A and B are shown apart, each in its own frame.
Chain A
Amino acid sequence: MSFIKKPNITHPDLPRNAIGLTLRDYEGSMSTLCAGCGHDSVSSAIMQAYFELSVEPHRVAKVSGIGCSSKTPTYFLGGAHGFNSVHGRMPSIATGANAANRELQYIGVSGDGDSLSIGLGQFSHAIRRNVNMLYMLENNGVYGLTKGQFSASADKGSKAKKGDANAYSPIDPALLAISLGCTFVGRSFSGDKEHLVPLIKSAISHSGFSLLDIISPCVTFNDHEGSTKSYAHTREHMRETVYADFVGQHEEIVTRSKPGEYRQVTMHDGSRVGLRRVDENYDPTDRISAISYIEKYRAEGAVVTGLLYVEESSEDMHTILGSTDQALCNVPYDKLNPGAEALKRIQSRWR
């Protein structure tokens, strides 16, 4: 971890976003993770994304489980409330919080240990309910805080720091999510901020559950030779499919690569995501072909990244349940209390 605390003074020339805030306003407290940890890069990408989207920090709610990644919500968006819950159960906190107040934006941060073992059930069911949230799975293949045991995402044959090879098949959260009906699935790499930031912005703008599986190497326990989740291995084996080019509601599309390889998806809030196909064989709106593509390259040892799947017309939990548009926590009691007459009426049936 770094021990140098940044001064609280902001340089007057720092760029400001549409609501007059600087990037500094999206910072949190100082990270206590290892120097060079992939998670810190992800945190900084998250700050950048919310800054660029001009979201008021206090309109975001941050939730997490237990583990290194779950500590990170304190390191960004200090103006947002946060909830560091119990192991693997961030999805239920997010679901309940969202049920109570659908007006806030939710970001859940979890890791492979938190999401894919004890948390696998809650992860799956939050996807099924299509809770409107961004779920960041910071994936490094190991349990860091308990000193380097394999997690459920560790590849078969990947070597531990002390040399043992992992004997079990990995769970691929992105594949799992697509198969469960997740309506927005992306994968990226903590060392690739250029791709990560627009992907996060796109995921935030999606109405429904967005999963981002971020390969985020553990510099202390899983960055050695023989590991398939190291910086070097990930860089070498990344295979970009579709680059998500986030375009705000009112912005003009400026970058346009070769015609025919570019298409747009309009998000719930009216913003658009431009999808630039890096591999022209990949269609991120076709679930079956997405799954077989990812499976095919996974078998070859490649890490398929990019915007892997998106469903444009997505009904979130509240739409499915038929909730009022107003945050339930703000509905006044007068409206919730049926009153004396109703109580009499109900009880007349109990005679």
Chain B
Amino acid sequence: MSANHRVNDFVIKLANVNGTGSASSNGLLMKSIFRMGIPVVGKNFFPSNIQGLPTWYEIRVTKDGYTCRTGTTDFMVAMNAETYANDLAELRPGGYLLYDSTWPRNEMLERDDVTVLGIPLSGMCNEAFDSARAKVLMKNVAYVGALVALLDIEMEVVETLLQETFSTKPHLMDANMQAIKMGYDYATKNFNCPLDLRLERMDKTDGYVMVDGNTTAGLGSVYAGATVVSWYPITPSTSLIDAYSIFCKQLRVEEDTDGNMVNNYCVIQAEDELAAIGMVLGANWNGARAFTSTSGPGISLMSEFLGLAYYAEIPAVIFDVQRVGPSTGMPTRTQQCDITAAAYASHGDTRHVLLFPADPTECFEMSLNAFDLAERLQTPVIVLSDLDIGMNDWMIPEIQWDGSYQPDRGKVYDAEALRDMDKFYRYLDIDGDAIPWRTLPGVDARGAYFVRGSGHNQYGGYTEKSDEYKQVLDRLRRKSDTAATLVPAPVVEHGADVAANKAWAVLSIGSCHGAIVEARDRLAAEQISFDYMRLKAFPFDQSVKQFINSYDRVFVIEQNRDAQLRQLLVNELEINPAMLVPLLSYDGMPVGSDFIVDAVKNELQLQGAAKAG
């Protein structure tokens, strides 16, 4: 067996030109592997562009079921002449490169340590297909055919997938199958198939699905009972609303008594994010579950209204699918860079509830959490997802629904309660948990009050009196303490040899999780084990402080330049900053396990050197 022999554990990267229809071919490839029972990860690195710029799709085949990138490429499908040089350079020694040999390759671009496989994809497709569009599209399908032979993908699986896709368009099925066979036959005839880099059927994907986090967040919002959505298009959050809308069209339309099909939901594309959040507040004020979805620039625009919602205590759910900032930044790249902006959005003293999903499973779960918390606490809840979670293809266990879920609508006086009441006061802390009772418009005149962002007292009246103002503001601070007890608790995973390592531990959030899981396994193999806390929400509860204080140092891993999570920990828990070591990845690519392994080792070395010195 050669050193290069790798079964079910390698990375295929496909370099394409945006707008050439490569996404469906790459999806077909990824799903074929998944259907063979082999865990996969699909990451899309795409430009902010409609047509012409380079785009990559990376498929990690991972028999161990990891969910992150590794940082290496074993097989490159180089379909873009523009990026060819870099794509070749990126391959690890011993890797493979497949390219379209219809045109001659620049001889300057050679590497002795990789195997280059040329297939005249364009030539074959130009001959076989008539329309200009088909000639372009089928090139991509043909390389999938070649990979079927080279990697030993089961042809029946590919065929079944194509049949499912084109069940209503049989002529497309035929053309696609023809292209697959063309690539397959060429590879079998000209190369030694399969390669030593190849696939073997497993049974590790039973009970799993492949999905992105925006889809599950949209679906979760349907299951949470959200009825009103207002949004403004922005990458990478748009597909969340698309998902919600599509599911609603399937699940929330009914025939009324007059025989008309009517919607039990309402999606409004707003004129901007200022209006989107305004509509969400208006709808929540009226007692509907309403939400919006946006990204960093939208959070900046929504900040003023978020301050009003915090102060006037109006529920709202905001999904922030983070992308690279500041400003427009890199709209199609990922980061965790809105933590500070979201936690304290708006002028004045504010503090918002944040949820940090780590994968599409949690995007679904936290959609439900978010609506429950928003209504229970009568405040905005911001779900901080990111482009990596929201738009990439993740393998997750099938989501279960046990039917016992009932929405927590929080403290709302209904008509009956109001009938027995002398007078209703909006902001009284009756129960001692700093959460007041509210009423909904249209129910009873006794419940009427005036929502205002201006100074108000605990009765809901306008005030400019210092003590009355402070009373409300101080209660809001206490409400934040209540929030810390209600939000999802952090998860702690102990190292293999916990007692041995009290010197340091790791703390992180969101989409860093997958990379940390693999990094822990890789480091454990080198006898480096450590405890790991993953935060799921803000405000932090006391267990976070206790965890940090149990070690000499805690490495805080996050994806932004300024260590925003670390800042928040220092600020909110009054932790000595020297105890928190930032390990930061902020190049816009999803963080990989290699980054974490290297960063941890590097930090340990530095500390060792410091001690020795």
Report yes or no: B453 in contact with A328, Cβ–Cβ below 8 A. no
CB distance from B272 to the nearest CB of A (A): 7
| Docked complex Cα distance between A84 and B314 (Å) | 13
Instruction: Knowing A79-B448, A338-B251, A351-B34, say if A92 contacts B442 (CB, 8 Å).
Output: no
Instruction: Knowing A74-B450, A322-B263, A336-B252, say if A99 contacts B279 (CB, 8 Å).
Output: yes
- The A interface is mostly helix, strand or loop, or mixed, namely helix
Contact among A85, A95, A324, A351 for B268, CB-based, below 8 A: A95
B282: chain A residues at CB < 8 Å are 63, 83, 92-100
Report yes or no: A89 in contact with B403, Cβ–Cβ below 8 A. no
Instruction: Knowing A82-B451, A100-B288, say if A328 contacts B223 (CB, 8 Å).
Output: no
Q: Which residues in chain B, 389-409, are within 8 Å of chain A measured between CB atoms?
A: 398-403, 405-407
Instruction: Knowing A93-B285, A101-B287, say if A346 contacts B247 (CB, 8 Å).
Output: yes
Instruction: Knowing A82-B451, A89-B274, A96-B282, say if A323 contacts B266 (CB, 8 Å).
Output: yes
Is A350 at the interface (CB under 8 A from chain B)?
yes
Report yes or no: A343 in contact with B448, Cβ–Cβ below 8 A. no
| Docked complex Cα distance between A95 and B282 (Å) | 7
Which stretch of B44-52, B92-100, B254-262, B335-343 is in the interface? Answer: B254-262
Interface string of B262-296 (1 = CB under 8 A from A): 11111110111011111111111111101000000
Report yes or no: B279 in contact with A93, Cβ–Cβ below 8 A. yes
B262: chain A residues at CB < 8 Å are 322-325
Interface string of A313-351 (1 = CB under 8 A from B): 000011001111101111101011111101110110011
Q: Which residues in chain B, 469-504, are within 8 Å of chain A measured between CB atoms?
A: none
A95: chain B residues at CB < 8 Å are 230, 268, 275, 278-279, 282
Report yes or no: A122 in contact with B271, Cβ–Cβ below 8 A. yes
Is B449 at the interface (CB under 8 A from chain A)?
yes
B117: chain A residues at CB < 8 Å are none
Report yes or no: B266 in contact with A82, Cβ–Cβ below 8 A. no
Is A291 at the interface (CB under 8 A from chain B)?
no
Report yes or no: B440 in contact with A329, Cβ–Cβ below 8 A. yes
| Docked complex Cα distance between A322 and B258 (Å) | 13
Report yes or no: B270 in contact with A99, Cβ–Cβ below 8 A. no
CB distance from B175 to the nearest CB of A (A): 23
| Docked complex Cα distance between A96 and B276 (Å) | 9
Report yes or no: A58 in contact with B448, Cβ–Cβ below 8 A. yes
Contact among A104, A347, A350 for B442, CB-based, below 8 A: A104
Q: Which residues in chain A, 280-330, are within 8 Å of chain B measured between CB atoms?
A: 317-318, 321-325, 327-330
CB distance from B80 to the nearest CB of A (A): 29
Report yes or no: B285 in contact with A331, Cβ–Cβ below 8 A. no
Is A113 at the interface (CB under 8 A from chain B)?
no
Is A91 at the interface (CB under 8 A from chain B)?
yes
Q: Which residues in chain B, 234-266, are within 8 Å of chain A measured between CB atoms?
A: 247, 250-252, 254, 256, 261-266
The size of the chain A interface, using a CB distance under 8 A, is 62
Report yes or no: B251 in contact with A328, Cβ–Cβ below 8 A. no
Instruction: Knowing A323-B262, A342-B251, say if A103 contacts B450 (CB, 8 Å).
Output: no
Q: Which of B285, B290, B308, B449 is most buried by chain A, counting CB atoms within 10 A of its CB?
A: B285
A329: chain B residues at CB < 8 Å are 227, 283, 286-288, 440
A338: chain B residues at CB < 8 Å are 222-223, 247, 251-252
Report yes or no: B34 in contact with A97, Cβ–Cβ below 8 A. no
Contact among A86, A91, A335 for B264, CB-based, below 8 A: A335
| Docked complex Cα distance between A317 and B263 (Å) | 13
Interface string of A29-64 (1 = CB under 8 A from B): 000000000000000000000000000111101010
B440: chain A residues at CB < 8 Å are 81, 329
Is B383 at the interface (CB under 8 A from chain A)?
no
Q: Which of B227, B256, B454 is most buried by chain A, counting CB atoms within 10 A of its CB?
A: B227
B274: chain A residues at CB < 8 Å are 89, 92, 121-122
Is B185 at the interface (CB under 8 A from chain A)?
no
Instruction: Knowing A99-B283, A101-B286, A329-B286, say if A84 contacts B209 (CB, 8 Å).
Output: no
CB distance from B517 to the nearest CB of A (A): 22
Report yes or no: A336 in contact with B227, Cβ–Cβ below 8 A. yes
Q: Which residues in chain A, 88-145, are within 8 Å of chain B measured between CB atoms?
A: 89, 91-101, 103-104, 121-122, 124-125, 129
| Docked complex Cα distance between A303 and B285 (Å) | 38
Instruction: Knowing A97-B283, A329-B287, A333-B407, say if A84 contacts B441 (CB, 8 Å).
Output: no
B449: chain A residues at CB < 8 Å are 81-82
Report yes or no: B225 in contact with A340, Cβ–Cβ below 8 A. no
Contact among A86, A321, A331 for B453, CB-based, below 8 A: A86
Instruction: Knowing A85-B308, A329-B287, say if A61 contacts B442 (CB, 8 Å).
Output: yes
Instruction: Knowing A86-B305, A323-B266, say if A81 contacts B454 (CB, 8 Å).
Output: no
Q: Which residues in chain A, 164-203, are within 8 Å of chain B measured between CB atoms?
A: none
Q: Which residues in chain A, 63-79, are within 8 Å of chain B measured between CB atoms?
A: 63, 73-74, 78-79
CB distance from A73 to the nearest CB of B (A): 7
Report yes or no: B210 in contact with A97, Cβ–Cβ below 8 A. no
Is A80 at the interface (CB under 8 A from chain B)?
yes
CB distance from A292 to the nearest CB of B (A): 28
| Docked complex Cα distance between A343 and B268 (Å) | 25
| Docked complex Cα distance between A143 and B254 (Å) | 49
A96: chain B residues at CB < 8 Å are 228, 230, 268, 278-286, 290
Report yes or no: A333 in contact with B406, Cβ–Cβ below 8 A. yes
Instruction: Knowing A81-B449, A85-B308, A101-B288, say if A343 contacts B210 (CB, 8 Å).
Output: no
A–B pairs, 7, beta carbons within 8 Å: A57-B445, A63-B282, A95-B275, A103-B442, A328-B265, A343-B219, A347-B209
| 8 A-B pairs with the lowest CB-CB distances in the bound complex, closest first | A92-B278, A96-B282, A96-B279, A79-B445, A100-B288, A81-B441, A350-B209, A97-B282
